């Protein structure tokens, strides 16, 4: 998995990789030549007392050292550049992919897991890439070259090399094989710890309100302890690798000096050759240590690559059509739609089920909403109201039936075109870090300040906007945490009003408003959206009683539809909801 991902990412950096390979070949060649030149200085210069040879070979060694240093620096710089670009590319690809996933796939991965994959997992692959590119060619070239040149210096003494290299490789293989499942488990535990931490930060007030701090501390402590134990186990394996390798190498070095000394005494080997042989042993050790560092990071990088690849290869359940339709519903973006179908939203026997679910969330939903009308959706909690609304902009795709807009099946419309033809106020009033103006201009980037103020006035925000000394430049914290729930809802409504659309969707967007503000806002919206098609999800009867069509959902089924007076007479489900709310709202 890691190899395939790296191969794909390197496709855009072939030139840099080729340059790294060439530079590392120069680096390895210079490094391998140094012990041979040093041996010649000892045997042909120092022992023979030939100063000219010493000077000539000394200059050559200095030149080789300069080439080695320059090549290493240049290769390291290019390796860092390529690794950082790979990290940049991966983060961009993951971000783009997440944007294309439906809420169903996002929920399957989990918000915290996707965040970890885009940050920590990418960072692990980036760190691995730095090591690989730094040692891509230099390590193997030095190892193989060291073995060949050690054999050239003395064949008999090279038996030590033939014994230690397979032994070192066996040690590394055994440790790395054990590390892979540990790293995989560790990344999952990291996801879990991050998820718990995120929940505890977001729900801090709920935890305090129910005095559950100790319980949450214990819950986090269990996951934290498991993560620590996992990291400790993998760290011990990594820590044990170096002493084992050093033990084998030190024993082999003692053997080389012992047997080499006897061969020099017997006249079978020169002193310089022994010095060169020891240098090549050290170079082989260095190559193995380089491979060891790569192999230590490879298991974690491989696990991270699996997790990233799982995101990148996920096929979104909601996709653009292969061909655009002849008629587009967005005003000004294509041929005019027929006057009798402009702004018409139609559901025909629509159903929705999650994969593997025993029962559908929605089944056999049929209704028509036209321009200049308000369609309200009401029902008990979990009846499928928000799911029904999410099918219209294709945040989810219906599993049965068809939904059409302006007479065109919404599955035949490009997603951007479909969504640009409507304005949505989501159930959760989410604002982004920035100013109020920046948040509002998400709906209309070129809107002047005057339009922003008009939308804010319609959304009944002026009571609190007047108290903000910076006005539109007032900063908003991430998620709008420095505002009340009602203020966030009204700002989200103002943002939706800035986009002049034929279709407006309100998903329980008035729940945090007091009765007076709610009433004034509905009157303002009725005037502002008089010619648009409006679909409203609501919990309160007072929010839907003036609608032109009310859909009553019960267990995912369309229990009844009609106006408020009609449903009070014909629908027992609607009447029960109305009576329960009237009982709660009445004197008591």
Least confident range from 15-19, 137-141, 324-328, 523-527: namely: 324-328
**Euclidean distance between CA atoms 505 and 46, whole angstroms:** 90
The average pLDDT across 539-560 equals 87
Nearest Cα neighbor of 233 from 294, 186, 299 is: 186
**Which CATH superfamily does the domain covering 331-422+502-588 fall into?**
P-loop containing nucleotide triphosphate hydrolases (3.40.50.300)
Q: Which tens digits make up the pLDDT trace of 272-301?
A: 878 888 888 778 877 877 777 777 777 778
Q: Please list, in sequence order, all residues whose beta carbon lies within 8 angstroms of the beta carbon of residue 411, skipping any fewer than 6 positions away.
A: 321, 394, 397, 402, 403
pLDDT band at 401 (very low <50, low <70, confident <90, very high): very high
Name the pTM for this structure.
Answer: 0.72
Q: How many CB atoms lie within 10 A of CB 110?
A: 16
Parts of the chain belonging to CATH 3.40.50.300? 331-422+502-588, 431-500
pLDDT for residue 430: 84
Nearest Cα neighbor of 437 from 474, 462, 489, 463 is: 474
Q: Is the pLDDT of residue 534 over 90?
A: yes
Secondary structure of residue 467 in the 3-state scheme: coil
Nearest Cα neighbor of 314 from 11, 96, 12 is: 96
DSSP secondary structure string for all residues of 500-518? --SEEEEESTTTTS-HHHH
Residue 129, token pair as written in the block = 């890439």
Which one-letter DSSP state was computed for residue 316?
A: P
pLDDT for residue 324: 54
Which one-letter DSSP state was computed for residue 540?
A: -
What b/e readout covers 318-356, taking b as 16+ CB neighbours within 10 angstroms?
A: bebeeeebebbbbeeeeeebeeebbbbbbbbebbbbeee
**Residue indicated by tokens 């007032």:** 474
Q: Which tens digits make up the pLDDT trace of 83-130?
A: 898 889 999 999 999 888 888 888 888 887 888 889 888 988 888 888
Secondary structure of residue 203 in the 3-state scheme: coil
| Phi and psi at residue 311, to the nearest 5° | -75, -45
Helix (H) or strand (E) holding 565: helix 564-570
Q: How many CB atoms lie within 10 A of CB 170?
A: 11
What b/e readout covers 283-303, taking b as 16+ CB neighbours within 10 angstroms?
A: bbbbbbbbbbbbbbbbbbbbb
The average pLDDT across 392-396 equals 91
The average pLDDT across 336-357 equals 74
Parts of the chain belonging to CATH 1.20.1560.10? 2-181+239-312
Question: pLDDT > 90: what percent of the chain?
Answer: 14
Secondary structure of residue 403 in the 3-state scheme: strand
| Phi and psi at residue 152, to the nearest 5° | -65, -35
CATH code, residues 431-500: 3.40.50.300
pLDDT for residue 116: 85
Q: Please list, in sequence order, all residues whose beta carbon lies within 8 angstroms of the beta carbon of residue 524, skipping any fewer than 6 positions away.
A: 458, 459, 460
CB 401 within 8 A of CB 388: no
Torsion sign across C-alpha atoms 519, 522, 528, 531: negative
Going by their DSSP bridges, the two strands 434-435 and 475-476 should be labelled as antiparallel
CATH code, residues 2-181+239-312: 1.20.1560.10
Nearest Cα neighbor of 6 from 90, 109, 88 is: 90
3-state per-residue secondary structure call for 439-461: HHCCCCCCCCHHHHHHHHHHCCC
């Amino acid at each position: 998995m890691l190899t395939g991902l790296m191969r794909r990412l390197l496709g855009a950096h072939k030139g840099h990789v080729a340059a790294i390979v060439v530079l590392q070949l120069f680096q390895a060649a210079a490094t391998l030549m140094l012990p041979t030149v040093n041996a010649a200085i000892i045997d042909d210069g120092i022992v023979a007392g030939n100063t000219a040879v010493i000077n000539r070979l000394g200059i050559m060694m200095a030149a080789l050292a300069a080439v080695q240093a320059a090549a290493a620096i240049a290769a390291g710089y290019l390796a860092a550049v390529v690794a950082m670009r790979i990290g940049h590319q991966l983060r961009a690809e993951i971000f783009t992919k997440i944007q294309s996933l439906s809420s169903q796939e996002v929920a399957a991965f989990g918000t915290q897991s996707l965040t970890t994959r885009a940050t920590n997992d990418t960072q692990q692959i980036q760190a691995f890439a730095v090591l690989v590119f730094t040692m891509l060619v230099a390590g193997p070239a030095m190892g193989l070259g060291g073995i060949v040149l050690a054999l050239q210096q003395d064949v008999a003494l090279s038996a030590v090399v033939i014994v230690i290299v397979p032994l070192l490789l066996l040690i590394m293989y055994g440790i790395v094989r054990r590390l892979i499942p540990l790293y995989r488990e560790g990344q999952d535990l990291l996801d879990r710890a991050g998820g718990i931490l995120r929940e505890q930060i977001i729900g801090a007030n709920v935890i305090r309100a129910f005095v559950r701090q100790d319980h949450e501390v214990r819950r986090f402590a269990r996951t934290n302890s498991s993560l620590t134990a996992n990291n400790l186990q993998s760290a011990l394996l990594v820590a044990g690798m170096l002493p084992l390798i050093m033990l084998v190498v030190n024993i082999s070095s003692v053997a080389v000096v012992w047997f080499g000394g006897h061969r020099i005494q017997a006249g079978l080997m020169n002193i310089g050759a022994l010095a060169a042989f020891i240098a090549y042993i050290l170079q082989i050790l260095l190559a193995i240590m380089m491979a060891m560092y790569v192999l230590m990071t490879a298991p974690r990088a491989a696990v991270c690559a699996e997790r990233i690849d799982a995101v990148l290869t996920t096929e979104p359940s909601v996709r653009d059509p292969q061909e655009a339709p002849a008629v587009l519903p967005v005003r000004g973006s294509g041929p005019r739609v027929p006057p009798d179908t402009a702004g018409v939203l139609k559901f025909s026997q629509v159903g929705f089920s999650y994969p593997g679910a025993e029962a559908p969330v929605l089944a056999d939903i049929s209704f028509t909403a036209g321009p200049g009308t308000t369609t309200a959706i009401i029902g008990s909690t979990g009846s499928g109201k928000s799911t029904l609304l999410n099918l219209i902009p294709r945040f989810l795709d219906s599993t049965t039936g068809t939904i059409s807009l302006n007479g065109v099946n919404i599955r035949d419309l490009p997603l951007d075109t479909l969504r640009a033809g409507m304005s949505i106020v989501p159930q959760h009033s989410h604002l982004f870090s920035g100013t109020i103006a920046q948040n509002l201009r998400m709906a209309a980037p070129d809107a002047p300040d005057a339009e922003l103020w008009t939308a804010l006035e319609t959304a009944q925000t002026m009571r609190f906007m007047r108290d903000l000394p910076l006005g539109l430049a007032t900063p908003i914290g991430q998620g709008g945490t420095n505002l009340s729930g009602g203020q966030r809802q009204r700002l989200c409504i103002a943002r939706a009003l800035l986009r002049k659309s034929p279709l407006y969707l309100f998903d329980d967007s008035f729940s945090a408003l007091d009765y007076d503000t709610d009433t004034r806002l509905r009157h303002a919206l009725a005037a502002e959206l008089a010619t648009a098609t409006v679909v409203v999800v609501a919990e309160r009867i007072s929010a839907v009683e003036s609608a032109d069509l009310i859909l009553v959902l019960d267990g995912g089924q369309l229990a009844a539809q009609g106006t408020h007076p009609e449903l009070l007479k014909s629908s027992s489900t609607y009447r029960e909801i109305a009576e329960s709310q009237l009982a709660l709202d009445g004197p008591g």
